[in-house]
Chain A
Amino acid sequence: MKNVLYVRKEMLAEQSPPLSSIGVIGWAKKNLFNGWLNSILTLISLFLIYSILSNLIPWLLSPTWQASSLNECREINNAIKGGGGACWGVITERWPQFIFGFYTRDQIWRPVLVFVFLLITIAPILIDRLPRKLLLLLVIFPFVAVWLLWGGSIWPQFCSFLGLLLGYCTWRSLKTGVNRGIKASQLSLLSRHPFIPVLITIVVPILWWLFLAPLVSEFLRDIFPLAIQELPSRNFGGLLLSLTIGVTAIFFSLPIGILLALGRQSNLLIVKVLCVWFIEFIRGVPLITLLFVASTLLNIFMPPGTNFDIILRVIIMVTLFSAAYLAEVVRGGLAGLDSGQYEGANALGFSYWKAQRLIIMPQALKISIPGIVSTFIGIFKDTTLVSVIGLMDPIGLTGAIRADMAWNGVYWEINLFIALLFFVFCFSMSRYSMYLEQKLQKKN
């Protein structure tokens, strides 16, 4: 037999690691002081953090929440220490305006109600466990929100909603009609091309909205006047305005963006060219110019006397802007898909739209989540640009507040407060997208 070089006779018992490699000391050694360069960098960073915080914290903690003017703040701060504290009185006094704009106190329940309703509406999107049926709220929400925010008679909104319902019913009846095989002689046009029912479904509600809806709502208003106080668009301001524009733009820009992305890949030359031009034009132009178009130029093109709400105009521009960016993000997602997915879907007999809806988009959108949410966050922050065309979003309000003699000269506190407001929303969106990514990652 061959000689064995080494054989272990006894197994070694497990030992605990040396103290310097575990616990606080171990962690600090590994993460903060590993090597001389890192140690120096750590010390410098600590010094910087200390010097910033030692100045910032006393400034933040200044007890001026009850002050009613900048001068009063200065007196309070001077009494404590040699001046230089924040002046929080302006926030105490003006925060309702930052949030609700120029709604009077007795009307504030309306935006609050809309916000609560918004949370309920998006709950089934955010939380899987809730029943899918709740998603139907998405259809009702816009109409209720518009009625609550702008007020007036309920009937115009109700009739707009009826138009949507009408479109849905048209679609259903055409579908079942074709499926039941209404004879080709009766509906030859319908059965020949799948696009025809789509066209009819779009045209019917538009005809309703243009011609019948105003008459019907007038009629209903006369026999059953159900109305709340009307509030004009100039009452909108503060975070309410930002959220109105931001949420609406986000809500509508995703579907439009998806359609643009698909159009850009289309085999139909005209569709493709139109989509490419639209996307490239919108992306090539600053949002501010689009907003100026919305506020001034658009009126020139409209027939005289038409009253096209300024907020609506801005929402349309911001939506288109966001849609063009989303189209490119979604296109990136589509490019990330293997062409085998299209072939697999085709070979199984899926039509283009069914394949998109069931197979392609669920995967493409999943890939694009970080980009989509970045665009959403960007567009929500960009709503502050509307201050340039004179709308009173939080940034626009800062000017108005400084015009008040009592607060002339307050800068930091207001902007910090606005930053905090936006941070709450943007940070939640960002966290949600990370959660969503992780959840979808787990699945496969």
Chain B
Amino acid sequence: MVISANGKKARAEMLALNDYAIEISDMNKWFGTFHVLRDINLNVKSGERIVVAGPSGSGKSTLIRCVNRLEEHQSGQIVVDGTELTSDLKNIDKVRSEVGMVFQHFNLFPHLTILENCTLAPIWVRKTPQKEANEIAMSFLEKVKIPEQAAKYPGQLSGGQQQRVAIARSLCMMPRIMLFDEPTSALDPEMIKEVLDTMIELADDGMTMIVVSHEMGFARQVADRVIFMDDGQIVEENEPEEFFNNPQSERTKLFLSQILGH
């Protein structure tokens, strides 16, 4: 990882640098005639951790999928690590090699072993020699605490283990930014913690992260900022303590009462 600022002070210094990893300005997106993202403005600093919350259909997933161009935006600007996302394939490839993504349904490759899942992209996209790729993969599998599963196939692992493999697979590409698209929503309750622990560890290492999640405990513990979206717009943006204790807009209050109310 490029950044490994462990201490809080080092992190604070880094955030003070105002070195932006992602800059989104006046961005709009439509699905057909449906206006899914409206006038999005969002800057993410290097090393910053952002949790995006909001009701389903509010455009949270679409927003982070625009960051690595899994979805195409129609107007406005998205600049990732100094590269603007346009239809230019070269820029897209460059951004995708800097941005890792973890999906709700893991999207592991079922025909490959865990180790092969982790080494496929480094070998074929980054042209890393096989031996080196294997070593990198094993080190990240150790980091997510499942090196012993390396020779198995994804279908033989539990959901939580699969999601940790998916995180390791992304990390093997040495990304500067990690996107998490509801990483725990498809998991059984007892497996959520192991995935969140992995993500917290990653955050402690200084990774720039955008996490779409309903895990409010995680947001409180890790996030620098919480962003609340509704109807394709950013409705509220605040530090976690303020966001949870003192929500400003009516929609945020309603949302929080619904998910925290039981």
Q: Assuming A358-B120, A358-B124, A444-B153, is B108 touching A346 (CB within 8 A)?
A: no
Closest to A352 in B: B89
- 21 A/B residue pairs, CB under 8 Å, sorted by A: A340-B103, A340-B106, A341-B107, A343-B70, A344-B107, A346-B70, A347-B96, A347-B99, A347-B170, A348-B120, A348-B169, A348-B173, A349-B97, A350-B121, A350-B125, A354-B124, A354-B125, A358-B120, A359-B120, A363-B111, A444-B155
> Bound state CA distance, A158 and B154, in angstroms?
47
Q: Is the interface of A mostly helix, strand, loop or mixed?
A: helix
Q: How far is the CA of A349 from the CA of B123 in the complex (A)?
A: 12
- Residues B74-128 near A (CB distance < 8 A): 89, 93, 96-97, 99-101, 103, 105-111, 120-121, 124-125
A366 interfacial contact with B, CB 8 Å: yes
Residues of A within 8 A of B125 (CB): 348-350, 354
Q: How does the 8 Å CB contact mask read for A322-360 relative to B, with 1 for contact and 0 for none?
A: 000000000000000010110110111111001000110
Enumerate chain A residues within 8 angstroms of B170, measured Cβ to Cβ: 347-348
Number of A-B pairs, beta carbon distance below 8 Å = 64
Q: Closest approach, in angstroms, between the C-beta of A351 and any C-beta of chain B?
A: 7
Quick check: is B68 within 8 A (CB to CB) of the other chain? yes
Query: How many positions in chain A have a CB within 8 Å of any CB in the partner chain?
Result: 20
Residues of A near B110 (CB, < 8 A) are 363, 444
Interface residue ranges of A170-209 to B (CB < 8 Å): 194
Chain A residues with CB below 8 A from B106, complex form: 340
CB within 8 Å of B: which A131-170 residues:
none
Query: Which residues of the partner chain B approach A344 to less than 8 Å between Cβ atoms?
Result: 103, 107-109
Q: A348-B169, A444-B155 are in contact. Are A343 and B111 (CB under 8 A)?
A: no
User: Are B124's CB and A350's CB within 8 A?
Assistant: yes
A444 to B103, CA, bound (A): 21
Taking the nearest CB of chain A, how far is it from the CB of B193, in angstroms? 24
Contact with B along A356-386 (1 / 0, CB 8 A): 0011001100100000000000000000000
Cβ proximity bits B145-156 to A, threshold 8 Å, 1 near / 0 not: 000000001111
Q: Which of the listed residues B96, B106, B124, B173 has the most CB atoms from chain A within 10 Å of its own CB?
A: B124
Interface residue? A443 (CB, 8 A)? yes
Query: Could you tell me if A351 and B93 are in contact, using CB atoms closer than 8 angstroms?
Result: yes
Q: Kindly list chain B residues whose C-beta atoms are within 8 Å of the C-beta of A362.
A: 111
